[in-house]
Structure 1
Amino acid sequence: MAVSILLSALAMSAIVALRYVLASGGFALATRLRHRNLYTGLDPQIRREIGWSLLSALIYGIPAGVVAWGWQQHGWTRIYTDIGDYPLWYVPVSILAYLFAHDSWFYWTHRWMHRPALFRAAHAVHHASRPPTAWAAMSFHPWEALTGAIVIPALVFLIPVHVAALGLVLTIMTVMGVSNHMGWEMFPRWLVRGPAGAWLITATHHQRHHDQYNCNYGLYFRFWDRLCGTDKGLGQFKRL
């Protein structure tokens, strides 16, 4: 049993690492095509970002692999595969529930990580990326990576979710994590500065966090930032 769990954890870590390389590499390529010189002179920083991110992939994969083993071997978790197990309207509701729960956890742990002692001990690794690049999405100190690694594995024990809906949640998590750090805005102006952009986080909003540190802590939504008075609006991209 121990060997099976270990193999599952290692396999999941490899999957997370591959997902990171493909997603960050894809957005880095898009950056090169759209803004050719944006990452010029940042090669040493990018190498550090990749190193920390691959270590984070290992940490993310361990709880995910244990949970995947328990689900496959013993039916643990509330992941379901038969779409008829719940009404169809529940599928988008479950996706929103996962995103909101993840966003809430991220907001409060992120603010916690900005306390001076924790920032110096862990979160400074992420903010060492000045400016952040597409490779910085998972560039975390191991202690910070651990706080992020436990969220989705915990939620699958609490909130029923179809396996395809869970896959979509993970895809959104990956895309938003990478695109929010790549140094330019991929979403159209009408979305970013329109009614939807007033509640959704994109690269323009997250850029202000990397500029000022004490605001814009959210991941997907601006709800907690607005409620807690930490929303300082949209940022600017200095290198464009």
Structure 2
Amino acid sequence: MEYAPAILLSALAMTLIVGGRYLLSSGFFAWLTNRVRPGQYDRLRPQMKREIRWSLLSAAIYGIPAGIVAWGWQNAGWTKIYTDPGLYPFWYLPLSLFLYLFLHDTWFYWTHRLLHRPRWFKAAHAVHHDSRPPTAWAAMSFHPLEAISGAVVIPALVIAIPIHVGVLGLVLLVMTVMGVSNHMGWEMFPRWLVQGRLGMWLITATHHEKHHELYRGNYGLYFRFWDRICGTDIGLADAGGSFGSAVGRKRIGQ
């Protein structure tokens, strides 16, 4: 127990970092939305306040395991985070990035599907879907039960799978940008990407917004892989031709 105060301070520090990251990233994309789509969020101010409250609670939940792992990395060798780029072959850097994103996406897809079962939806996931439509502030707007399911993924991966600290930072950056941009209500990526071959496998706002509209399908976080092989992918044809109308400056579904 002699390490308990230090671990507690680490958890507190990570909570502040996660909360600050949320406020900065969601705040930036909310500002960008107001620039690109003036007035889009005007009628959603009470909803956004609720999203921020839930998200800051989620930040505290995410910060606890992150803080424990951060302390363990620096003081006890609990993790497989490394700083020497020569420790593994160069090709392992992009491989570890993809591996982390794919495993995170896999966990998210299956837990997300579980959360859409009636009992779990009512108990937890309804909080996230109370955002109608979601805004840039909704990316971490989770019930504590859902936040716990998401908070354990990256800490578990860094204990099990080697990753360079810089690549881990990139994983967190991708997680933040994709999580926020997929909820802000308009498509920031170009049409050639969203509707091209790459877009057949990547999730953007166009894809995820359909999940929030229909409450089914499109359960993935980064990739459409599991949706496609499990038959839960809602694509252009399935959406009656409106899927992709978010590309450019239009709101999804208009």
| Same fold by TM-score greater than 0.5 | yes
Cα RMSD, aligned residues only: 1.0
Which amino acid in structure 2 is aligned with residue 73 of structure 1?
A: N
Name the count of aligned residue pairs. 240
Which amino acid in structure 2 is aligned with residue 126 of structure 1?
A: H
Unpaired segments ≥5 residues, structure 1: none
Flag the 1:202–1:238 CA change in 2: closer, same or farther, 3 A. Answer: closer
Alignment correspondent of 2:136: 134
| 2:143 is the counterpart of 1:174 | no
Alignment correspondent of 2:104: 102
Amino-acid identity (%): 69
Q: 1: distance between equivalents of 2:62 and 2:198?
A: 31
Alignment correspondent of 1:26: 28
| 2:205 is the counterpart of 1:189 | no
Q: Provide Cα deviations, 1:30-76, integer angstroms capped at 9, x if missing partner.
A: 00000001111111000000000000000000000000001101111
Q: 2: distance between equivalents of 1:233 and 1:15?
A: 36
Which amino acid in structure 2 is aligned with residue 62 of structure 1?
A: I
3-state DSSP of counterpart to 2:43: coil
Shift of 1:201: 0.3
Which amino acid in structure 2 is aligned with residue 210 of structure 1?
A: H
Contact persistence 1:60–1:146 (CA under 8 A): yes
Shift of 1:145: 0.2
Which amino acid in structure 1 is aligned with residue 198 of structure 2?
A: A
User: Pick from 227, 230, 239: which aligns with 1:228?
Assistant: 230
What is the TM-score with the length of structure 1 in the denominator?
0.98
Q: 2: distance between equivalents of 1:239 and 1:101?
A: 30
User: Pick from 198, 201, 219: which aligns with 1:199?
Assistant: 201
Q: 2: distance between equivalents of 1:205 and 1:233?
A: 7
3-state DSSP of counterpart to 2:79: coil
Shift of 1:149: 0.1
3-state DSSP of counterpart to 1:7: helix
Q: Provide Cα deviations, 1:78-133, integer angstroms capped at 9, x if missing partner.
A: 10000000011100000000000000000000000000010001000000000000
Q: 2: distance between equivalents of 1:64 and 1:7?
A: 12
Q: 1: distance between equivalents of 2:44 and 2:110?
A: 30
Contact persistence 2:186–2:252 (CA under 8 A): no
Alignment correspondent of 2:65: 63
Shift of 1:203: 0.3
Shift of 1:233: 1.1
Alignment correspondent of 1:113: 115
User: Pick from 68, 73, 76: which aligns with 1:74?
Assistant: 76
Alignment correspondent of 1:145: 147
Contact persistence 2:206–2:252 (CA under 8 A): no
Q: 2: distance between equivalents of 1:97 and 1:200?
A: 15
Which amino acid in structure 2 is aligned with residue 41 of structure 1?
A: R
Which amino acid in structure 2 is aligned with residue 57 of structure 1?
A: A
Shift of 1:157: 1.1
Contact persistence 2:209–2:252 (CA under 8 A): no
| 2:8 is the counterpart of 1:9 | no
| 2:162 is the counterpart of 1:157 | no
Q: 1: distance between equivalents of 2:37 and 2:168?
A: 33
Which amino acid in structure 2 is aligned with residue 106 of structure 1?
A: F
Q: 1: distance between equivalents of 2:17 and 2:83?
A: 21
What is the TM-score with the length of structure 2 in the denominator?
0.93
Q: 1: distance between equivalents of 2:146 and 2:223?
A: 20
Shift of 1:239: 7.7
| 2:220 is the counterpart of 1:218 | yes
Flag the 1:239–1:212 CA change in 2: closer, same or farther, 3 A. Answer: closer
Contact persistence 2:202–2:223 (CA under 8 A): yes
Q: 1: distance between equivalents of 2:196 and 2:39?
A: 29
